[in-house]
Amino acid sequence: MQKNTKNYFLSQPHQPFFVLGVVSAVLFMLLFMLSYKAVFTLVISSNIFHAYSLIFPVFTSVFLGFLLTTFPRFSQTPALEKSIYLSTFVLLATGVVFFLIGSFSAVSLLLLAALLILAAQSYTLYVFYLIYKGSPLAELHDQKWIMIGFGAGIVSNFLFMLGFITENSVILSLAKLIGIYLYLTITAFSVAQRMVPFFSHVIIETNKKLLPTLFALFSLMIVFEIFDMKIGFIFLIIAGIITFKELLSWK
């Protein structure tokens, strides 16, 4: 019975990754609260700890669980072999464990954690690229932007690593902004643009200008924020209006 349960748990990508995301959310929120009670002292600022733990251990786990299952389906290619997504899972899960321990013990463990998570991200992007190149479909707009979003996530994680080493607040702020807007938001919207109309049974033509426009607006906002220019919010307002109009078109 235990063997069958184990085989079922690992039989599809979303199952172990979703569980990892939920467990990570509970553990990191608990650690975050305990740090405020002075039970633990974090080796990085609570702001950066909160951002990194949500962007990578939590949301990246969920993203990988969903996309390692659906990206091949989107592209009309065979499902991934178990060895591929389990390799990613082991890298990510090990990175999450080291980040959890390193958060209250040593920056060196945080760097090791970020490196393992970076390896999981990079390997996944490579797998997505192989699927993208091997797809029989002529139209792969959404897949391309999912990969761009994941690429931004790799940049964000690398900048976090530099920030952990240098303790440079500008680098850490840049890493956080790229992670939130160019990684999480762009990736989520790339998936939503494909999935929401489908599940709503609304037949619409994909707006191919939407994601490049949002990416450009978010990038401008990030530049203005990093240089401490107080008008970055204008680009977010414009992006919000554009997104709202697009959602209305999805009915």
Average of per-residue pLDDT values in the chain: 90
Token pair in block for residue 46: 């609570």
Per-residue CA distances from 47 to 21, 169, 241 (Å)? 20, 11, 28
What is the pTM assigned to this prediction?
A: 0.91
The residue type of 23 is V
**Beta carbons within 8 Å of 39's beta carbon, 6+ residues apart:** none
First to last CA, the chain: 46
Q: Using DSSP, state whether 104 is helix, strand or coil.
A: coil
* Per-residue pLDDT band at 3 (split at 50, 70, 90): low
Taking residues 218-235, what's their average pLDDT?
Answer: 93
For 141, other C-beta atoms within 10 Å of its C-beta total 15
Nearest to 214 by CA among 237, 187, 193, 186: 186
What pLDDT score does 197 carry? 62
Q: What is the pLDDT of residue 1?
A: 46
Gyration radius of the chain's alpha carbons = 19
pLDDT > 90: what percent of the chain?
Answer: 70
Q: pLDDT (tens digit, 9 = 90+) per residue, 32-46?
A: 998 888 888 899 999
Range of lowest pLDDT (16-30, 98-112, 201-215): 201-215
Which segment of 73-77, 114-118, 145-149 scores lowest on mean pLDDT?
73-77
Task: Specify the residue for token string 């490196």.
Answer: 115
Res 24: pLDDT: 96
Who contacts 60 (Cβ-Cβ below 8 Å, separation ≥6)?
A: 92, 117, 120, 121, 153
